[in-house]
């Protein structure tokens, strides 16, 4: 059975799901996404979201309301006559009238093993916490934040050195396939939901800029997870004097290693840095205004030597 669908999503993570739904032959009557953002030096150019760009390729009508809380926006949504809404990282709260408008409700694709990591940054938080597995889940939306009953799930192992960016790119197509299977089951009346437990619930808050600075006094294992979880964006960072005063340097990739010394001390020429417990080897870094490079190239350009202190 072909479903009449309203798709609601914004970033790259949502793109494979929209593509998969269209490919499955469902009727996507409208795409809701965040409004284009100002770009360019003067902010005069507008950059559409990744989802909007794909929707326009498929000639699907695009709507970019700034809120769904006003009656006019809710009436316009209800007028779509959707069987179901599919929501993937949309970015706006769906009030009760919107949640209740589609005949079969609203399905959300969430990138965690609920109830762990409800909220805005589940992929980053899972990596930062050192989780060894995560996944994607399709749930029926309700007014609570990611609290709805779960219809389908798929678990995924997290690699010991895997970054949030790499995990994001793996989960996006897996989630797309999961949502396609969920919609197929829904169309047959065979999609069953299991209520979430409140035990083990954790909130995946948005990343605060203050979290990104590396405190070398912390254990190497914790800092390795911080670097992975914030790579490639916003990027964990430290400061070091490279001859013109303190300069911020992002760390995009590390490995755990053996070593000891005063926290923040560069222990050798290969990027081994002492932590509060153990050591980290800097593998890939990025200076402001430049591209990512391996540590050896960075060290030569920055003239770093053993004994230099990173702050």
CB within 8 Å of 109: residues ≥ 6 apart = 14, 17, 86, 87, 88, 136, 137, 138, 175, 178, 179
Give the mean pLDDT of 122-140. Answer: 98
Give the mean pLDDT of 188-209. Answer: 96
- Is residue 300 scored above 70 in pLDDT? yes
Output the average pLDDT for the chain.
96
- Is residue 44 scored above 80 in pLDDT? no
Task: Give the Cα-Cα-Cα angle 35, 16, 162 (nearest 5 degrees).
Answer: 105
Distance CA 35, CA 252 (A): 30
State the pLDDT at residue 1: 85
CA-nearest of 66, 91, 113 to 10 is: 91
Distance CA 96, CA 7 (A): 17
Percent of the chain with pLDDT over 90: 92
- Is residue 40 scored above 70 in pLDDT? no
State the pLDDT at residue 242: 82
- Is residue 78 scored above 70 in pLDDT? yes
CB within 8 Å of 252: residues ≥ 6 apart = 163, 227, 231, 232, 235, 283, 284, 285, 286, 292
Q: Which domains does the chain have, with CATH numbers?
A: 4-203 (3.40.50.170), 209-302 (3.10.25.10)
Say what the pTM is. Answer: 0.95
Give the mean pLDDT of 121-129. Answer: 98
User: Is 236:250 a contact under the CB 8 Å cutoff?
Assistant: yes
Confidence of residue 20 (pLDDT cuts 50, 70, 90): very high
State the pLDDT at residue 29: 98
User: Is 191:33 a contact under the CB 8 Å cutoff?
Assistant: no
State the pLDDT at residue 301: 81
């Amino acid at each position: 059975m072909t479903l009449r669908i309203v798709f609601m999503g914004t970033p790259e993570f949502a793109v494979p799901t929209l593509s998969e739904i269209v490919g499955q032959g469902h009727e996507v009557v409208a795409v809701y996404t965040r409004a284009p953002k100002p770009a360019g030096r003067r902010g005069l150019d507008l950059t559409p979201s990744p989802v909007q760009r794909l929707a326009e390729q498929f000639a699907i009508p695009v709507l970019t309301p700034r809120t769904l809380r006003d009656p006019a926006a809710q009436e316009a949504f209800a007028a779509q006559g959707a069987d179901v809404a599919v929501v993937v990282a949309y970015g706006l709260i769906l009030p009760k009238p919107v949640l209740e408008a589609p005949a079969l409700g609203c399905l959300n694709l969430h990138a965690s093993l609920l109830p762990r990591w409800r909220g805005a940054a589940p992929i980053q938080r899972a990596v930062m916490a050192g989780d060894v597995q995560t996944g994607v889940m399709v749930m029926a939306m309700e007014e609570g934040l990611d609290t709805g009953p779960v219809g389908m799930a798929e678990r995924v192992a997290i690699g010991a050195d895997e970054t949030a960016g790499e995990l994001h790119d793996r989960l996006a197509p897996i989630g797309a396939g999961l949502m396609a299977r969920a919609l197929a089951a829904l169309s047959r009346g065979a999609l069953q939901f299991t209520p979430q437990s409140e035990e083990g619930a954790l909130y995946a808050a948005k990343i605060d800029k203050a979290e990104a600075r590396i405190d070398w006094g912390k254990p190497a294992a914790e800092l390795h997870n911080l670097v992975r979880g914030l790579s490639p964006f916003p990027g964990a960072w430290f400061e070091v004097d490279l001859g013109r005063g303190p300069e911020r340097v992002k760390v995009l990739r590390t490995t755990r290693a053996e070593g000891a010394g005063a926290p923040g001390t560069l222990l050798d020429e290969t990027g081994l840095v002492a932590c509060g417990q153990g050591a980290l080897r800097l593998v890939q870094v990025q200076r402001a205004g430049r591209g990512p490079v391996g540590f050896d190239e960075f060290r030569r350009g920055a003239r770093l030597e053993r004994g230099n202190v990173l702050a």
